[in-house]
Structure 1
Amino acid sequence: MWELFTHPSNLLFSVSLCLMFLLGILEGLLLIIGLSSQGFLDQFIPDQLLDVNHPNTHHADVDLDSSNIFIQFLDWLYLGRVPVLVWLIIFLTVYALFGLITQNIYHYYTNSYFPLWIIAPASFILCMPLVRTSAAIIAKILPKDETTAIHSDELIGRTAQIILGNAKLNYPAQAKVSDQFGQMHYILVEPETDVVFLQGQEVVLTQKTKVGFQAVYISI
């Protein structure tokens, strides 16, 4: 059994399984100290997947234009309808177990393993329906307040506090901001002009950027 995990052809699956455990431990430690990675991860999800006006079904109103095929695919995988960290743990678990089980069965009959360059992409594609099914089950189990999401645009105008590093123009720092539901979001913030936001300062979010938000300093 140990050979199954350590064989070079299965290394990617073993790493995925270890990463899944590390993410769970990290989130547990963050919760102990009163933080969470969830708000930070949510900012990387397209707004179409976080539409609070369609919480119950399959986002049927998502534009079916071919330019949105990628968005449709993510929606099909339930990404955005369960917390991002939970979805990532589901994916890593299903991908790792699917690959290892497939390799184990193949080894049982042939006494060899599929090459990594074949089994890794094949497992990635074939495990997606299982990822979707697992995420759908988890989405029904999780309490609704665990999956409440808002458009990132709704954070504009709210006050954020720089919590990690100093923010400069084109060099954002991590900040935290509370939404209208009292949920805390961890975002990247940079100033609109050539000033510096120091750690601990409070700023007002003014507009979105590709990686986070721009803000202005609250003058006293």
Structure 2
Amino acid sequence: MWELVTHPSNLIFSVCICLMLLLGILELILLLLGGGSQGFLEQFLPDDLSNTQHAEIGIDADQSIFTQVLDWLYLGRVPLFVWLIIFLTIYGLTGFIIQSIFHHFTAHFFSAWIIAPACLFLSMPLVRYSALIIARILPQDESTAIYSEELIGRTAVIILGEAKINSPAQAKVEDQFGQTHYVLVEPEQDEIFTQGQSLVLTQRTKIGFQAIIL
């Protein structure tokens, strides 16, 4: 075990785990002193990302690829300090687990130049889903703002025009807070939706949603 932790190929993972522990101790000290690091760390998030916590459904309209990647990782949806703890923990443990398994069968370790970027790639989905779970557990500020994906699965009614593939019509849909949203809807299959028809939203598109007949 000690060889696993101290081997040069695993140094980056050891640093991640140590940094995670140090951040935890630092946060504990700050909390005891009546403060915290979260407000300080949040300022390093891009403005268009940090504002998404309080944005209405239109937030998906114009986002850079970089911002979309950060949003996919749930940065801005959980406190940045918490996200860093999640990332450091998962990245470090992923590296140790892979290196341990490889060493068990070969008595060697992957080169740091190979394992470090590989683990970064492999750990990102785990970081995302862990952050998603934490975001649902942590108490949030009272807000009726939602992400557009939260409307998927809800019933919408066509209120203006006819909807065809690549030719959406306007529909209204209520969210979990009882608020009405007006969205563009087109059929998922080759069919036509007419005014007054009830639909189920199935997935997002670049400009609105696809739907199927209820």
Contact in 2 for aligned 1:48/1:62 (Cα 8 Å): no
Match of 1:114 among 85, 90, 110: 110
- 1:104 alignment counterpart: 100
Normalising by structure 2, report the TM-score: 0.62
Contact in 1 for aligned 2:73/2:131 (Cα 8 Å): yes
Check if 1:8 corresponds to 2:14. Answer: no
Question: Which amino acid is the alignment partner of residue 121 of structure 1?
Answer: P
Q: Deviations over 1:143-165 (max 9, x none)?
A: 11499xxxxxxxxxxxxxxxxxx
Contact in 2 for aligned 1:77/1:132 (Cα 8 Å): yes
Instruction: Give me the whole-angstrom Cα distance separating, in 2, the residues matched to 1:77 and 1:102.
Output: 22
Q: How high is the sequence identity, in percent, across the aligned residues?
A: 61
Check if 1:73 corresponds to 2:60. Answer: no
Question: Which amino acid is the alignment partner of residue 129 of structure 1?
Answer: P
Check if 1:132 corresponds to 2:98. Answer: no
* Aligned partner of residue 60 in structure 2, secondary structure: coil
Aligned runs of 1:1-220 on 2, under 5 Å? 1-50=1-50, 51-54=52-55, 61-64=59-62, 68-145=64-141
Runs of 4+ in 1 over 6 A off after TM superposition: none
Alpha-carbon RMSD across the aligned residues, in angstroms, is 2.0
Q: How many residues align?
A: 142
Instruction: Give me the whole-angstrom Cα distance separating, in 2, the residues matched to 1:9 and 1:146.
Output: 46
Instruction: Give me the whole-angstrom Cα distance separating, in 1, the residues matched to 2:39 and 2:129.
Output: 24
Contact in 1 for aligned 2:86/2:131 (Cα 8 Å): yes
Structure 2: tracts of 5 or more residues without a match = 144-214
Q: Deviations over 1:195-214 (max 9, x none)?
A: xxxxxxxxxxxxxxxxxxxx
**Structure having greater relative contact order (Cα 8 Å, sep ≥ 6):** 1
Structure 1: tracts of 5 or more residues without a match = 148-220
Q: Deviations over 1:11-31 (max 9, x none)?
A: 100010000000000000001
Larger Rg: 2
Contact in 1 for aligned 2:95/2:119 (Cα 8 Å): yes
Instruction: Give me the whole-angstrom Cα distance separating, in 1, the residues matched to 2:80 and 2:74.
Output: 10
